[in-house]
Structure 1
């Protein structure tokens, strides 16, 4: 069996890794460098966590995700995961943090609650007066995306996998099982796996009926000097509470302090508006107050734009069309499942169980 994978973000790299472990011949194509800073998984770091609110299926699958990452760490010879735990900050009844805590309760998972005053005492960068309560769980942390991508790239090359960076695919012929490169070269295989993220719609326009592309951004902040050590020891903040769907990744293992917000997104093609807008970083920073205190003292070190595909209900997407399999484990929360997604796709291809893998990825049970 020969497989062509289009797109070397975390899903494509992990699928190539899992197939290679099974002895399958793989060609991996990426339009930019690996890691690609424009891809959804090309940034410094991402969150892994147990809490998922009403999406209990994903909450129950996190154990499998951790196990797959462990298998990958064994192969790479390095563990690119920092176990920080995660924090939920509830500001109003029924906000995102409140809902995620309810999901932990429903699933029977352990956590610790503490008061608003105790939250400020534990984490001096918080304004306790803006909070109802805090919730902490040790089952979460920071995945180091660039180190993972670089490690997988090198692991694949060391096993003579055909890894082609800076190789743009112009079209996919799902019926024939072939791809045409921008330079006119045509490659054929038994199956094509499209893990091109937001660029998949350009290759297979019919996907637009079920997938929508959004442009968003995150900001890297420089905290006040006296709060730097507190941030370096902080957990991931999975939800800052209130209406903005804010999240924070602390500066660990040489990374920056990253902030983002679910409300900061808009419709957009993946190659459009990728240069940050004037003042965009300050806008993202200011969405963090509350619950941050002293927000005006934080500098903006960098702003990184991202392009994501979303399904209408934010569940993952898998579709077979001809000899092609299109995978979009995204909707803004896919990275944490990257290793296990690769394993599931490889299993589906080799054992002809792709529909079972689709049900796993959609996580509706």
Structure 2
């Protein structure tokens, strides 16, 4: 069996990995380098966590994600996951911090609940007067994206995958199972899997009824010196509570202190606005007061722009037709499932049951 994978973000890399392990001949095409700094998988680190609030299907599936990552660490000979655990904060009744906590409790998953003062006592970068409570779960941590992509790239090459960086695809033919390269060449296979992330609509504009592309950005902060050790030994913050949909990744394993907020996004093409705007880092930083204490003492080390596709209900997207499958995660939350997404696509192709793969990825049960 021959498969062409278009796009070498985490879903594409993992699909190539899972197929190659099963003896499939794979060609992997990527428009830039691997890792590609413009891709959603090109940043320093991402959160993996159990909590999913009202999306119980993903909450139940995270165990399979951890299993797939463990298999990948064995193949790569390195574990690119730092087990920091994750923290939930609530500022107002019914906010996402409380929603995530409720989902964990209803699912029967262990979580440590803390008062506002207990939370700030453990994590001095939090202003106790701005939160209602905190909650900690050990079942989560930080995935080191750039190290994962670099090691997967090298593993795929060693395993005989035809890896082609800086190769643009201009068209895909579902019935022929072929792709046309911008250079004019045509490649054919038994199946084509497109995992092109924010560039998917460039190949399939008709999917705009299902997918919307957004431009967002994250900021890397320099904390006050007395708070630095607390951040370096702290957990991810899955949600800071309130209304900003804010998340935080601690500076571990050579990464920076990253903050991002769901409210800081706008519809945009994947190549538009990729240079950070003047003052954008400060704007993002200031979304985190509350609940951060002493926000003005945090410097801006860097700002990184990102482009994501979203579905309207924030579930994953998969559509198959003839000899083509298009797969898209929803926003950044797709990264944590990257390894198991690749596994499910490979299983579906070999079992000739891509519908089962779609049902699993959409996680509506």
TM-score, normalised with respect to structure 1: 0.99
Please name the residue that 2:281 is paired with.
281
- Size of the alignment, in residue pairs? 365
CA distance in 1, matches of 2:150, 2:237: 26
Aligned partner of 1:312 in structure 2 is: 312
Displacement of 1:321 after TM fit? Answer: 2.1
Secondary structure of residue in 1 paired with 2:125 = coil
Root-mean-square deviation over aligned CA pairs? 0.6
Q: Give the alignment of 1:337-356 within 5 angstroms.
A: 337-356=337-356
CA distance in 2, matches of 1:298, 1:87: 20
Question: Is residue 196 of structure 1 aligned with residue 196 of structure 2?
Answer: yes
Q: Which residue of 2 aligns with 1:135?
A: 135
Q: Does the CA contact (< 8 Å) of 1:52 and 1:100 recur in 2?
A: yes
Q: Aligned residue for 2:360?
A: 360
Task: Report how far residue 322 of structure 1 moved.
Answer: 2.4
Partner in structure 1 of residue 266 of structure 2: 266
Q: Which residue does the alignment assign to 1:75?
A: 75
Alpha-carbon distance in structure 2 between the residues aligned to 1:33 and 1:237: 30
How far apart are the structure 1 equivalents of 2:231 and 2:125?
8
> Equivalent residues in 2 for 1:141-220 (5 A)?
141-220=141-220
Shift of 1:353: 1.1
- Does residue 93 (structure 1) correspond to residue 93 (structure 2)? The answer is yes
Q: Residue 266 of structure 1: SS of its match in structure 2?
A: strand
- Structure 1: state its 5+ residue gaps: none
Question: Which SS does the other structure have where 1:142 is aligned?
Answer: strand
- SS of the residue aligned with 1:31? coil
Match of 2:102 in 1: 102
Q: Could you give the per-residue CA deviations for residues 260-290 of structure 1, whole angstroms, max 9, x where no partner exists?
A: 0010111000011101111111000000110
Matching residue of 1:61: 61
The Cα of 1:330 is off from its aligned counterpart by 2.7
Matching of residues 293-332 of structure 1 within 5 Å: 293-332=293-332
Q: Which residue of 2 aligns with 1:250?
A: 250
What corresponds to 1:123 in structure 2?
123
Secondary structure at the residue paired with 1:314?
Answer: coil
| Cα contact 2:29–2:165 (8 A) shared by 1 | yes
CA distance in 2, matches of 1:98, 1:203: 39
Once the two structures are superposed, the pairs formed by residues 3-82 of structure 1 within 5 Å of their partners are 3-82=3-82
Structure 2 residues not aligned, in runs of 5+ = none
Conserved in 1, the CA contact under 8 Å of 2:310 and 2:329? Answer: no
Q: 2 CA distance for matches of 1:147 and 1:332?
A: 17
Contact 2:120 2:126 in 1 (8 A): yes
Contact in 2 for aligned 1:13/1:152 (Cα 8 Å): yes
The answer to whether the 8 Å contact 2:18/2:346 transfers is yes
Say which is worse superposed, 131-140 or 167-176, in terms of deviation. Answer: 167-176
Shift of 1:332: 2.8
Per-residue deviation, residues 114-162 of structure 1 (Å, max 9, x unmatched): 1101111101111000010000000000000000000100000011210
Supply the distance in 2 between the matched residues of 1:164 and 1:330 (Cα, whole angstroms): 26
Q: 2:84 and 2:227 mapped to 1: Cα distance?
A: 17
Which whole-Å CA distance do the structure 1 matches of 2:205 and 2:91 have between them?
41
2:77 and 2:263 map into 1 onto residues whose CA distance is 38
Task: Using the TM superposition, give the Cα deviation of residue 335 of structure 1 relative to its aligned residue in structure 2, in angstroms.
Answer: 0.3
Give secondary structure in 1 for the equivalent of 2:342: helix
Q: CA deviation at 1:207?
A: 1.0
The answer as to whether partners of 1:215 and 1:305 remain within 8 angstroms in 2 is: yes
Q: Distance in 2 between matches of 1:76 and 1:166?
A: 24
In 1, are the aligned partners of 2:88 and 2:136 still within 8 Å (CA)?
Answer: yes
Could you list the per-position Cα deviations for residues 10-34 of structure 1 after superposition, in whole angstroms to 9, with x for gaps in the alignment?
0000000000000000000000000
Residue aligned with 2:142, SS: strand
Question: With structure 2 as the length reference, what TM-score do the two structures score?
Answer: 0.99
Where 1:225 maps in the other structure, the secondary structure is coil
